[in-house]
């Protein structure tokens, strides 16, 4: 029976063996990223995320991967992101926030370091940060209505949303050439200091994500209102940000 691994490193040999069997010499890199690479993997709760880099056009040959997906899921391995080096290179200006966060914490499991030489354009980062903040604000407003006034649903909305904002915050700090902190609360503190926003609603959302239970709807509603207000401030600042 497949068991949930205690550490991401436990699955490295089998994942590499499986991918070599599927792709042979076309397999160029297997890279761990996400919570496992950050040292935040929690058995039974976290997924183990891999970037798989392939040579040539074999990235479109997906049928041979299908039989392995159920096996990997039983070992807490998320469906891998499959790319070529050329696609990574041509995508950094389109998805700079995602690649920046991937590059911050990763581990080469097999082959080349496909992330080592990535360079991020600050103007591309600013544009995606603006788009992400505005899009997430709209989703939060819609999500609030969909809670229908249920405290548990609002708590889930706030807890789920904070991780996406932390990813954007990392990019905003990088744009200002700030050192990127490792912990969630440290990231919020740095963004509050750099951009002059109130950290408290973001810290409350982190508490909710980390397991605080039974919070009344009225208290959650107050957190939501201040959360929205600070996000709107961030949007205005990013929208007016002038980069050299």
Report pLDDT digits (tens) over 182-233. 889 999 999 999 999 999 999 999 999 988 778 899 999 999 999 999 999 9
Beta 49-54 vs 81-84: how paired, if at all? parallel
CA–CA gap between residue 169 and residue 173 (Å, rounded): 6
Question: How far is Cα of residue 226 from the mean position of the Cα atoms in its chain?
Answer: 23
Residues 6+ apart with CB under 8 A from 212: none
To 10 degrees, the CA torsion angle through 139, 162, 125, 96? -100
Would you list the domain boundaries of the chain?
8-111, 122-239
Report pLDDT digits (tens) over 72-104. 999 999 999 999 999 999 999 999 999 999 998
Residue 148 backbone phi and psi in degrees, to 5: 55, 30
Partners of 27 in beta bridges: 54
Q: Which fold has domain 122-239?
A: 1.20.120
Average pLDDT, the chain: 93
Residue 142 backbone phi and psi in degrees, to 5: -65, -45
CATH of span 8-111:
3.30.460.10
Q: Which two tokens stand for residue 168?
A: 């954007």
What's the predicted TM-score (pTM) here?
0.84
Report pLDDT digits (tens) over 119-165. 999 999 999 999 999 999 999 999 999 999 999 999 999 999 999 99
3-state secondary structure of 204: helix
């Amino acid at each position: 029976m497949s068991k949930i691994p205690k550490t991401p490193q436990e699955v490295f040999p089998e994942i590499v063996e499986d991918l070599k069997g599927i792709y042979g010499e076309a397999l160029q890199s297997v890279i761990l990223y996400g919570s496992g690479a950050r040292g935040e993997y929690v058995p039974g709760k976290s997924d183990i995320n891999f970037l798989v880099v392939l040579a040539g056009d074999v990235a479109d040959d997906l049928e041979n991967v299908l039989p392995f997906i159920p096996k990997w899921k039983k070992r807490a391995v998320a469906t891998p992101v499959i790319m070529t080096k050329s696609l990574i290179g041509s995508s950094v200006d389109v998805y700079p926030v995602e690649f920046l966060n991937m590059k911050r914490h990763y581990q080469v499991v097999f082959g080349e370091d496909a992330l080592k030489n990535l360079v991020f354009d600050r103007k591309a980062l600013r544009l995606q940060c603006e788009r992400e903040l505005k899009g997430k604000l709209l989703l939060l407003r819609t999500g609030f209505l969909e809670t229908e006034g249920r405290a548990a649903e609002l708590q889930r909305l706030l807890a789920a949303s904070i991780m996406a904002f932390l990813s954007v915050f990392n990019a905003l700090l990088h744009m200002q050439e700030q050192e990127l902190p490792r912990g969630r609360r440290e990231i919020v503190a740095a963004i509050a200091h750099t951009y002059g926003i109130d950290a408290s609603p973001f810290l409350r959302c982190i508490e909710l994500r980390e397991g605080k239970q039974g919070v009344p709807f009225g208290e959650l509603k107050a957190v939501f209102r201040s959360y929205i207000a600070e996000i709107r401030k961030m949007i205005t600042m990013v929208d007016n940000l002038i980069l050299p």
